[in-house]
Amino acid sequence: MNSGGKMALVMLSCTAIGALGTEALHGEARPPAYLIGQIEVTDPDGYAREYLPKAKEIIKAHGGKLIAAAGAAATGSQVVAVDGDPPKRVVIYMYPSMEALWAWRHDPAYVQVRAVGEKYARYHTFAVEGSVANYSPHHAVGRCDLQRAPPNSETPGSARRLPPTGRTAD
């Protein structure tokens, strides 16, 4: 085979390998899953002492990352009502996939820890799947505030409402 033929064969092989590799990568792309929790803590000391440390460890082991938390005295952030009454405490976790989220939720260690947490809090949790098109695992997740409510005499960690702006939605 002449050198031109060898070069063409190498280029064809590389193109085929690249196409197969790209197809494999696209086939593996899974959207992240977001867990949103509305929590009413009835015993902050017990919750912080007996539930949180163990729960955070198990969440982390399943790839869960805290995206946002508000309403807890320790965070300093507050839940801001946009429409309706806000929950007292909100957390948002991102998992690599819905499968990872369900693996965490059904992990026997977490089921046991959650039973402890239910002595100190009431939970309302749900999950949504993100969009693969808008997701990059290298995307830096930052803090997003709609608008800081003005300080007032409310207790730390309490919910606040957005002040009226007089603007209409775009």
In a domain, 53, yes or no: yes
Structural domain range at position 110: 31-142+155-161
CATH of the domain at 96: 3.30.70.100
The residue with tokens 């499968």 is 99
What is the Cα 22 distance to its own chain's centre?
A: 27
Residue 140 near residue 36 (C-beta atoms within 8 A): no
| Number of domains composing the chain | 1
In a domain, 16, yes or no: no
pTM of the complete model: 0.64
One pLDDT digit (tens) per residue for the chain, 170 residues = 565 555 444 444 444 445 444 444 555 678 999 999 999 999 999 999 999 999 999 999 999 999 999 997 667 788 999 999 999 999 999 999 999 999 999 999 999 999 999 999 999 999 999 986 665 555 444 434 333 344 443 444 444 444 544 444 44
Residue 26, φ and ψ in degrees, nearest 5: -65, -35
Give the containing element (helix H, strand E) for 55: helix 52-61
3-state DSSP helix/strand/coil % of the chain, to nearest 5 = 35, 20, 45
In a domain, 21, yes or no: no
In a domain, 18, yes or no: no
C-alpha–C-alpha distance, residues 81 and 58, integer Å: 30
In a domain, 168, yes or no: no
